[in-house]
Amino acid sequence: MERGLSPLTLRKPSVNIKLIKAGERSSLEDRARVLEKGTSLNRLFGIVLVLSGAILWGVSGNVAQYLFRTGGINPGWLTSVRMLSAGSLLIIAVLAGEQREVAWKIWADRKSRAGLLIFGLCGMIGAQYTYFEAVAAGNAATATLLQYLNPVIIIVYLLIKWKKKPSIKEVAAIFLALAGVFLLVTKGHPNQISIAPAALFWGILSAFGGAVYSMQPAALLKRWGAAAVVGWGMIIGGLAMSSFYPPWIFRGQLNLETLSCVAFVILFGTFAAFYLYLASLKFLQPIETSLLGCAEPLSAAVVSVVWLSVPFTVSDWFGAVCIVSTVVVLALSRKTNH
């Protein structure tokens, strides 16, 4: 008689099945731990990406301020060079990627063409040129903080459009934004304006431009992706700006330092920062990137103080915290609604 057919042998499989199941359970738990660890590492990587992009954006504003003050560079010229160069790099990156056909298909659609033109002329120029003018008239820290009012502008616009009463968090965000602007502009003294009127004008205008930049291309972004839309938008805006500020006509101090700063604004402060932010969306939720993106105005303020010796008072810091808090409050409000 073969041992495999004995009554004892026939009982063993049930024990082996239990052992196998236990082993599978253990293996699944191990895999879960590995996946959890991998997810944690991915999240950490995403956080590093978005913070790096935000900090590069913040530093870029200070480099632009340095160019305006010491290099004699015109804000309009830097805007046209930045948009044409960075936009071209973005389109080249799209053409080198897996969805290269998107770069050209977007122009085949009539509605998309019109949307791109509006985005490039109103959104891009409205956000980029006004921001650099605000930096030139004041400083990078104040300009960046004022532009960060655009989420509140969007909320107010949508509340009016939908004829909806604001929630408590939305009211809080609007109040924080107004308090932040008050502290930045007056340093806490209602009877005086402590920043140049031109800096305030261009800063507020850049916030409205930023609102258009954020809202107008929503349908385009959903259909064609951010890289192609932003790339073409920059090229369109850059071409329009070139008619007033030709990139080939350089006015300022032409030296290695100036050229290096211009290259930094284009390569790191625009192209690399955009792709770092875009890459972070693969590992983080949009709400997380919005919250971590608050590192941009804070880094702009810190670099302004440390590098460019821009005086930043206690009132300025409180104003900065108020404005950055609006983004946090609105992001948390959006999370609650979803």
Domain ranges in the chain are 13-337
pLDDT for the residue 24: 47
Q: Following DSSP, what letter does each residue of 218-264 receive, concatenated?
A: HHHHHHH-HHHHHHHHHHHHHHHHHTTS-TTS--S--SHHHHHHHHH
Does the CA dihedral 320-124-226-338 come out positive or negative?
Answer: positive
**Cβ distance 119 to 220 under 8 Å?**
yes
**What is the C-alpha separation between 292 and 325, in angstroms, rounded?**
12
pLDDT for the residue 37: 43
pLDDT for the residue 35: 41
| DSSP, res 72 | -
What is the reported pTM?
0.85
Residues (pLDDT < 50) of the chain are 1-25, 28, 30-37
